[in-house]
């Protein structure tokens, strides 16, 4: 449970940077596009510095599918807060329904099994390649 919490916190921080990088410039349409692109790239750099460790720490404790669904929930949650607070966009009932569907997706993948399966070693890979088809 502790690992999952750390992963979620890293993903929340990561997605905060990415949301600002992707949408923060919308209030500054008077600024040159190349300037906003460069600023967005600089803001996005910490996103990768947080996302990669989150996935590496989480993988093995959670499956890659579980990590991705958690990331999507966190991403959309961060965006909803950002859109309401920074962009002053009011969420609708459709927004709430969409979030409920995403939460349902989390519930669906939650039972997909913890951890990952190990890939076969080189000897096992070679033997399966050399084996004649059934």
**Is residue 122 one of the residues assigned to a domain?**
no
pTM comes to 0.71
Q: Is the pLDDT of residue 21 over 50?
A: yes
Q: Could you tell me the residue range of the domain that residue 75 belongs to?
A: 2-115
27/37 Cα distance (integer angstroms):
14
**Is residue 87 one of the residues assigned to a domain?**
yes
10 to 3, 21, 27: CA distances (angstroms): 11, 17, 27
**Is residue 64 one of the residues assigned to a domain?**
yes
**Is residue 12 one of the residues assigned to a domain?**
yes
**Is residue 86 one of the residues assigned to a domain?**
yes
pLDDT band at 34 (very low <50, low <70, confident <90, very high): very high
**Is residue 54 one of the residues assigned to a domain?**
yes
pLDDT recorded at residue 125: 46
* Structural domains in the chain (count): 1
The Cβ of residue 14 has, within 10 Å, a number of other Cβ atoms equal to 25
- H/E/C letters for each residue in the chain? CHHHHHHHHHHHHHHHHHHHHHHHHHHCCCCCHHHHHHHHHHHHHHHHHHHHHHHHHHECCECHHHHHHHHHHHHHHHHHHHHHHCCCCCCCHHHHHHHHHHHHHHHHHHCCCCCCCCCCCHHHHHHHHHCCCC
**Is residue 127 one of the residues assigned to a domain?**
no
pLDDT recorded at residue 108: 84
pLDDT band at 112 (very low <50, low <70, confident <90, very high): low
- Mean per-residue pLDDT over the chain, rounded: 84
Percent of the chain with pLDDT over 90: 58
Average pLDDT of span 129-134: 46
Of residues 73 and 34, more confidently modeled: 34
pLDDT, tens digit, 9 for 90 and up, residues 41-91: 999 999 999 999 999 999 999 989 889 888 988 998 899 999 999 999 998
76 to 4, 32, 34, 79, 90: CA distances (angstroms): 18, 28, 27, 5, 15
pLDDT band at 106 (very low <50, low <70, confident <90, very high): confident
**Is residue 130 one of the residues assigned to a domain?**
no
């Amino acid at each position: 449970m502790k690992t999952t919490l750390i992963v979620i916190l890293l993903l929340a921080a990561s997605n905060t940077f990415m949301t600002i990088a992707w949408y923060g410039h919308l209030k500054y349409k008077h600024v040159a596009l190349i300037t906003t692109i460069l600023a967005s790239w600089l803001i996005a750099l910490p996103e990768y510095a947080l996302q990669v460790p989150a996935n590496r720490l989480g993988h093995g404790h959670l499956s890659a599918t579980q990590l991705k669904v958690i990331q999507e929930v966190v991403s959309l949650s961060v965006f909803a807060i950002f859109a309401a607070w920074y962009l002053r966009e009011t969420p609708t009932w459709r927004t709430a329904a969409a979030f409920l569907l995403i939460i349902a997706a989390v519930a669906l993948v939650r039972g997909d099994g913890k951890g990952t399966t190990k890939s076969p070693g080189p000897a096992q890979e070679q033997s399966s390649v050399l084996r004649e088809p059934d």
